[in-house]
A and B are shown apart, each in its own frame.
Chain A
Amino acid sequence: MKRVYLDYAAATPVRPEVHQFIKPFATNNFGNPSAIYLEGRIAKQALEQSREMVAKNLNCRPHEIIFTNGGTESINLAIFGIARAYKKFFKEPRLITSRIEHPAILEPMKQLAKEGFDIKYISTNKFGEVNLSELKKYLNPQTILVSIMYANNEIGTIQPIEKISTIIKKFRKNKYLPFFHTDACQAANYLDINVNHLNVDFMTLNGGKIYAPKASGILYKKSGLSIDPIIFGGGQEKNLRSGTENLTSWMGLAKALDLTQKEKAIEIKKVKQLRDYLQKNILKIPQTFINGHPTKRLPNNINVIISDVEGESLILELDKAGIAASTGSACHSQSLEPSHVLKSLGWSREKIHGSLRFTLGKYTTKKEIDYVIKMLPKIVQKLRNLSAIKTI
């Protein structure tokens, strides 16, 4: 039987158009873009065309785009790059973020706390929206960076990035600091990524989530803002990301971003219809609760709590039935800690263990969703029959 893949927030396939586009650069045009002979110049030209393509889609200038090897790397460059460049000017440098960020944000923050930074975590309401009055309260003259994700990877809640940048702008008046970075890894397929609309100083995108090869990312850095590198070497990417350019992946990112932006309106309509249909049917299972914001949520996301069952068991049964999905259960994680995002929404640990995430994508069909609707209630019933907890 064909597999039903519903974990597009974790990884996307490289789309055929992108694959075709980058193929010649994996085999024939493999030169190092730093070389001045023909092979190098061909590669260099492709690299700069990719940069222009990304810039066009973000409505910024090409030199504001730094290519990296993925979302985590872009975020680390933004956070450590800013923290290290500006630490010396402050006695108690402060960084502000939210409780529901991706570990790629939270772990660097933890590290910087050890290095003497004052880290503030903004809480959320039960829908996962960050508390803006807390942001206003935390902003102080020692603040050098605010980093808030655009759309959450687990629950899909979309943050009001424009409102946040307005608050920050108002606070800093005519000063440079604090900077505002947003992690837009999950947002690029469905939301507005025009940096002038969003009014951000830094923004991270990840190719692996937009049908480009994995290990490709960009950091948008507004012109004139200076940060420190975190990888040192040959000085590529204006000295901010040394290492031979990952050309095929970066070209793929540019091409995929261009395509997603063109197709956005159609894709949103298509995926939302399927998502709403699946959600409506999942809710027919008793004792199920949808997470995230009812409307301000990515159109491809469903995160549901299913009482009395544990997430890893659900994933194993779904996998056997040919369906790939994800969970926030501790038993599924390396840390054995249940999802920090669902905790921030106010759920008990017991309920979080029963969370299940479906993220739909470009290639999701009605037939696939019908199959999930058929199988999921059976699987839940089977596990509830064995369960030592009986809410119903």
Chain B
Amino acid sequence: MKLIKKQKNKKADIIQNQIPWIYSDVVKEHFFNPKNFLKLEEEKKFKFNAYGEAGSPACGDLMKFWLWIDPKTEKIKQCRWRTFGCGSAIASTSVLSIMITEKDGMKINEAIKIKPQDIIKRLSGLPDIKIHCSVLGDQALRNAIDNYLKK
């Protein structure tokens, strides 16, 4: 009896795994396991010297970035974010947070050059309909860097 049940489950899994998800595997990973978002408990503890946001709740997407930029090297050492939005909006913010902090951190003069296409490429693509609305992370990032430079 147990064996039959197991086999049945296995079959169902195979069927499900053959059905493509609506986004790429990279989007899937970042949506379900988002990296570097600002947790409630770190709210007061997280040290930052740059803040920026982009989008609007009415349009369905709002992104916020908090950065710690090393004043000597001008590299982004730490990054936190929060996003209100659909799957691709959350995933695109998460992947951008990795792009700017990996390998010892990205210099801010490099970071301001990041385009939506760079983020989409790193996500292994997005459906056409989502490209315009859900990739706002680069704007939020530039706003944060502007905020730092004005200080």
Contacts and interface: CB of A to CB of B under 8 A. Distances in A.
Contacts of B26: none
Contacts, number: 69
Contact of A316 (B62, B83, B87): B87
A385 B39 contact: yes
Given A313-B90, A334-B129, A336-B129, A388 B59 contact: no
A308 B32 contact: no
Contact of A388 (B32, B34, B53, B86): B53
A386 to B, nearest CB: 5
Contacts of B62: 388-389
B16 to A, nearest CB: 9
A389 B62 CA distance: 8
A313 B87 contact: yes
A101 interface: no
Interface in B4-55: 9, 22, 31-32, 34, 37, 39-40, 53
B84 A309 contact: yes
B60 A385 contact: no
Interface in A369-392: 385-389
Given A331-B133, A350-B58, A385 B86 contact: no
A313 B129 contact: no
Contacts of A386: 34, 37, 82-83, 90
Interface in A317-361: 317, 320, 329-332, 334, 336, 338, 348-350, 353
A1 B12 CA distance: 8
Chain B interface extent, by class: 20 to 34
Nearest to A322: B16
A106 B22 CA distance: 28
Contacts of A308: 84
Nearest to B31: A316
Contact of B83 (A317, A353, A387): A387
A154 interface: no
B64 interface: yes
Nearest to B57: A350
Given A330-B60, A388-B82, A320 B134 contact: no
Contacts of B130: 331
A320 B84 CA distance: 19
A312 B57 contact: no
Nearest to A320: B32
A367 B86 CA distance: 29
B57 A331 contact: no
Contact of B58 (A309, A311, A348): A348
B85 interface: yes
Interface string B90-108: 1000000000000000000
Interface string A210-253: 00000000000000000000000000000000000000000000
A302 to B, nearest CB: 22
Contact of A336 (B39, B58, B133): B133
Interface of A: 1, 308-313, 316-317, 320, 329-332, 334, 336, 338, 348-350, 353, 385-389
